[in-house]
Structure 1
Amino acid sequence: MKAWIKFLGLLLPLSLAPSAQLQANQGEAFTVSIENDTRRLGGPNSDNGYTNGFRFSYLYAEDTVPSWVPFLTNWTPELQEEFKNSTTNFGISLNQKIYTPEDIKETKLITDDRPYAGWLYVGLTANYKTEIRSHTLELDLGVVGPDSLGEEFQNNFHDLIDVDRAYGWKNQLNTEPTVQLSYFQKTRFVDYLDKDAGRMFDIIPYMGASLGNVLIAGHVGVIGRLGINLPNDFGPTRPSASDGDMIKDPRESKTQLPWRVYGFAAARGNVVGRDIFLDGNTLGGSHSVTRKTLTATTEVGYGVQYYNLSFIWRFVTTSPEFEERENFHSFASLTLSYYQDLD
């Protein structure tokens, strides 16, 4: 077992230990997210670009404070004040993302396409929320390169589903430890409530930024949802957007309906100053392409929740990310969450 895998394996269980000052009492959640461009999940079957991602996460009960929270929240007086005056949720997640060029059968370096890359990391998430606003701060610690197990995961999975292996992984990014900090803010700008059908419509603008040796970027966007008995959260999230996890408010008002169903659409614009999966390793010595500074992302999907079980599907499309290939890229995203029964 490689050193970085051991580090991530030790960090995850240690992070699950709650602080003795405030114990869990209600509203825990477990979430599994899978993103892939295969047709089996509803993608375009392209098998390139951002081709696979997963996120396994645990969301602590509302206002439960894990032992690592001061490390994430006590950086500034403003963060400490936000922590004291908001309802809080904290989360811990294990994540992997895989990127490949278009021709995965080619063994030689493809100079006009993106490099092979994998990223394996643990995410620590703090969410502060009021009735109309949500702030999310996430710290990601991990590794890019062979230690991320991108090659092993992709090719073993391809063997399992009986499709061609990717043969160019010898050209992947070099091993590099990663530290990434992301901030995300959402505001419930417009919503419509019905006394029998609950929340039926809302519009949620958002903005955020990321800083680290993986990504330096900022973005703005908006989510719109339409349905019956919408969850009292700030819209669905996905691993590839560094949004943290969907937060369900344990104190949300109950309606006569045990289920929720809705459709949604979203769009966001991105300003990218650095992307390790396009620019290559921080200290050089790896393949890179000419990154675009401005990109856009759209998504459409639906969500269904029955009692404490939630399912979300979406189709995501990104504009061309680098100069050498002017291709739009799409993938599907599935998220399944289970919420612990409330006290």
Structure 2
Amino acid sequence: MRAGMLAGIGGLAAIPARATPLQDPYGTWTIQAENDAVSTLKGTSDQYYTSGLRINWTSGTDNQPAPIETLNHAILGPGVTRISLGVQQTIFTPHDTQAVNPPAGDRPYAGLMLGTVNLINDTDLSRSVFGIQFGVMGPAALGRQLQNGFHNLIGDTPNRGWSHQLQNQPIFQVQAGRTWRLPLADLYGIEMEMLPAVAAAAGDYRIYGSVADTFRLGQGLRSDFGTPTIGSGTDGTDAYRLTRPLAWYVFGNVTGYAVGYDATLQGNTVRNNSPHVPVNWDVGEIHAGVAVMWHGMRLSYSQTWQTQQFRGARSGLFNFGSVDLSAKF
């Protein structure tokens, strides 16, 4: 064990702080689904953040048009560049989904359809992301149609209060984040590392700042910077490059948010009678999961436990599951 630890420390010493990772010519397609029905706690199904779907494309390295490369380096500094383009839909419902008139103090019905454009910049020991999200919150996001259509398909009861959802509103936010890689040890081929991260966003969708740390254990950890969740917006973690034929890891993450504004909780910006609830400014999350990369594909599953996002929430720790499949072409 001592020899393995010394080998790991020696390997760290050989890595320059801003070393450039190897090129990756292949783009990455990702499809991801999140749902509160995939839950380890009883009583949180089909309420609050109830569903998320995302499709995303991430380019290969250093093959964007020259103006985009120049912009990436101007904002994020030296490193290997990518661009990420995606679309996502998220659905939020109250605790009581069978009330035709949802009671005051419960989370409003809301659907969002958002496009995402992110610039990604990698060194061996860091990943930086800067981008925008834009789209619509309200009936145009098709939240009611997707949720109740799926309920009808599986013979479940439709949610009855969608006529009181938040109204159509353009949504926009600027977002940025950085993740650092801190290798810890390599014990007989099993690697361990930490991934501390910071992120922030501002716009009429959300205003928040976050700090996080992830512990990972596995093989081929240098293949990526962790797995994404849909709500984060800074989905640069889709980018990966296999460093061995089979890479895998298990992980645990703790994230803390300071929330200044959330339109899905505080209602439409320009409508005084919009349904709304008071937001909690401090929100914590715990993530745990597993990821496997093989033959250019990555499959991951994670579970998230979240403290209450608004005053009056009834679920205690809210939790949901996330499944992510990526493939390179």
Is 1:192–2:181 an aligned residue pair? no
Output one character per residue of 1:266-298: Cα deviation in whole Å (capped at 9) or x when no partner.
011110110011111111331001111111011
Letter in 2 for 1:63: D
Is 1:280–2:264 an aligned residue pair? no
- Structure 2 distance, partners of 1:104, 1:336, is 30
Whether contact under 8 Å (2:116, 2:233) holds in the other structure is: no
Letter in 2 for 1:332: G
Residue in 1 aligned with 2:304? 316
> In the TM superposition, what are the counterparts of 1:239-318 in structure 2 within 5 Å?
239-250=230-241, 254-255=243-244, 258-284=245-271, 285-318=273-306
Of the three residues 83, 107, 123, the one matched with 1:90 is: 83
- Structure 2 distance, partners of 1:83, 1:293, is 28
Residue in 1 aligned with 2:320? 331
Is 1:230–2:194 an aligned residue pair? no
Aligned CA RMSD, in angstroms, stands at: 2.2
Whether contact under 8 Å (1:63, 1:87) holds in the other structure is: yes
Residue in 2 aligned with 1:56? 55
- Structure 2 distance, partners of 1:292, 1:100, is 17
Deviation (angstroms), 1:59: 0.8
- Structure 1 distance, partners of 2:27, 2:41, is 31
Deviation (angstroms), 1:138: 2.2
Per the alignment, in what secondary structure is the counterpart of residue 246 of structure 1? helix
138-147 vs 230-239, which moves further: 230-239
Letter in 2 for 1:279: Q
Deviation (angstroms), 1:249: 4.9
- Structure 2 distance, partners of 1:67, 1:105, is 53
Residue in 1 aligned with 2:129? 136
Deviation (angstroms), 1:58: 0.7
Residue in 2 aligned with 1:33? 32
Over the matched positions of the two proteins, sequence identity in percent amounts to 26
Q: Which runs of 5+ in 1 are unaligned?
A: 1-23
- Structure 2 distance, partners of 1:297, 1:245, is 19
In the superposition, the TM-score normalised over structure 1's length comes to 0.83
Is 1:159–2:146 an aligned residue pair? no
- Structure 1 distance, partners of 2:112, 2:219, is 38
Deviation (angstroms), 1:91: 0.9
Q: Which runs of 5+ in 2 are unaligned?
A: 1-22
Deviation (angstroms), 1:190: 2.8
How many residues align structurally? 304
Whether contact under 8 Å (1:320, 1:329) holds in the other structure is: yes
Per the alignment, in what secondary structure is the counterpart of residue 223 of structure 2? coil
CA separation of 1:265/1:178 partners in 2, compared to 1, >3 Å: closer, same or farther?
same
> In the TM superposition, what are the counterparts of 1:11-26 in structure 2 within 5 Å?
26=25
- Structure 2 distance, partners of 1:142, 1:329, is 26
In the superposition, the TM-score normalised over structure 2's length comes to 0.86
